[in-house]
Amino acid sequence: MTTRTGAPAVSRIEALDVLRGFALGGILIVNITVMSTPGGFAHGPAHSLIAVMFHNKFYVIFSFLFGYSLTMQIRSAQRAGASPRARTVRRCLALMAIGLAHYVLFFSGDILFGYGVMGLILLSLSSLRPRTALIAAVVPFSISVIAMTVLGMIKPAAATGSSDDTETARELAAMQLGWLDAAHYRWENFTDSIGAFLLSSLLSVLPLFLVGLAAGKVRLLERPERYRPLLPPIQWIGFGLAAPISVLSALTRMPILTGPNSLAGPVLAAAYGATVLRVMDRHPSVIRVLAPAGKLAATNYIGQSVVTAIIFTGYGFALVGRLSDWAVLGIAASVYAIQLVVSACWVRSHRYGPVEWVLRMATYGRLRF
């Protein structure tokens, strides 16, 4: 099947969904570390593993794909004679509403609210040419790297340990007590930190949206003959240069490496994505395993929080702070494996997941199947 331009629509959708499905696993592993233990894992082998291989890697793939998908949504609206701006605004507002509910009810590390806000900003920049979008991405990301370097060097000298411990204890108590207490704590946290959260998203998420926008405008992932030659160099740079920086930062915890490590994260994430695309080309079975979960990415993302909230908070089994790090990672692997199986079964009889259906209804302004 091809689009009107002759591009292979099926391959394009599969590539995007496979990358989303892959990223879901990494997102869960990062998120569950703070869902299970406020403040995250203590320093040790599991903490180092997460820092090297997962932290600041998988949200990068999600963010890139968000920017890429915006270009596809704009083209879809134009083909239908609809307003791309109106559709995107409605979709972003829906993301913000879902994200806020997700944040308060289940997980204070939600990304959907910030994606909705940054999506509105990206919409205002959607007319940028690909080269201009890439240049625009460099500015805030460079500021982020510099700020992370400075903060990384200042923080060890700051006497914040006791206040951090107090806040961690408050969150632990709220999660152990039950649903209303945890929700109240998260709402207070949201209102107190919304400014810093949006500033962080502006510096770290929006640049990735812009890179995705640039790639979508040239239809990079829709033309395998264009992106395949780029994959080996991306892998060499990611695994050869970025990975050692990530390892060194995790093992030494040198403050001066905070900035370089924040730069290494997206580069290593790109290497992950390149590897997945190459494996997908050689082993089509990967598509059958990962693509269904990617099609239901929003539903699976929310579902991960629902399941882990039941496991760790007081309105479920109240296991927060009680399991070893490796047991927590085992739970993450099990939940992700179950999601892959359930997603494959779901897409056999449904085109969309529940959250995707809500987003489509908001996007089109009416019921649409």
pTM of the full predicted structure? 0.89
Beta-sheet strands, E only, within 183-326: none
Task: Write down the pLDDT at residue 9.
Answer: 36
Q: Is the pLDDT score of 362 beyond 60?
A: yes
Q: Average pLDDT in the 27-52 region?
A: 91
Q: Average pLDDT in the 201-210 region?
A: 93
Q: 332 versus 150: which is more confidently predicted?
A: 332
* Tally of CA atoms within 13 A in the half-sphere of 233 that contains its CB: 4
Q: Is the pLDDT score of 3 beyond 50?
A: no
Whether 2 maps to a domain, the answer reads no
Whether 138 maps to a domain, the answer reads yes
Beta bridge partners of 2: 8
In the numeric block, the tokens 């999601």 are attached to 339
* Tally of CA atoms within 13 A in the half-sphere of 70 that contains its CB: 35
Whether 57 maps to a domain, the answer reads yes
Q: Is the pLDDT score of 224 beyond 90?
A: no
Q: Is the pLDDT score of 8 beyond 50?
A: no
Whether 172 maps to a domain, the answer reads yes
For the record, the structure tokens of 352 come out as 């969309």
What distances in angstroms separate CA 173 from CA 51, 94, 99, 160, 217, one per listed residue? Answer: 26, 31, 24, 20, 48
Q: Is the pLDDT score of 178 beyond 90?
A: no
Q: Is the pLDDT score of 5 beyond 50?
A: no
Q: Is the pLDDT score of 162 beyond 60?
A: no
Of 68-77, 253-262, 271-280, least confident by mean pLDDT is 253-262
Q: Average pLDDT in the 73-81 region?
A: 89
Residues 230-264 as b/e (b if ≥16 CB within 10 A, e otherwise) read ebeebbebbbeebbebbbbbbeeeebebbbbbbbb
For the record, the structure tokens of 61 come out as 């793939």
Q: Average pLDDT in the 214-226 region?
A: 90
With pLDDT > 90 as the criterion, what percentage of the chain qualifies?
A: 61
With pLDDT > 70 as the criterion, what percentage of the chain qualifies?
A: 92
**Overall number of domains in the chain:** 1
The shares of helix, strand and coil residues in the chain, as percent rounded to the nearest 5, are: 80, 0, 20
Q: Using an 8 Å Cβ cutoff, are 280 and 15 in contact? A: yes
When the pLDDT of each residue in the chain is averaged and rounded to a whole number, the result is: 88
Q: What is the span of the domain harbouring residue 324?
A: 9-364
CA dihedral 202, 186, 150, 250 (to 10 degrees): -110
Whether 188 maps to a domain, the answer reads yes
Q: Is the pLDDT score of 145 beyond 90?
A: no
CA dihedral 31, 37, 38, 43 (to 10 degrees): -90
Whether 154 maps to a domain, the answer reads yes
Q: 254 versus 115: which is more confidently predicted?
A: 115
pLDDT digits 0-9 by tens, 301-330: 999 999 998 999 887 888 888 999 999 999
Task: Write down the pLDDT at residue 367.
Answer: 58
Task: Write down the pLDDT at residue 108.
Answer: 87
Q: What is the C-alpha separation between 323 and 325, in angstroms, rounded?
A: 6
Q: What is the C-alpha separation between 110 and 305, in angstroms, rounded?
A: 9
Whether 293 maps to a domain, the answer reads yes
Whether 4 maps to a domain, the answer reads no
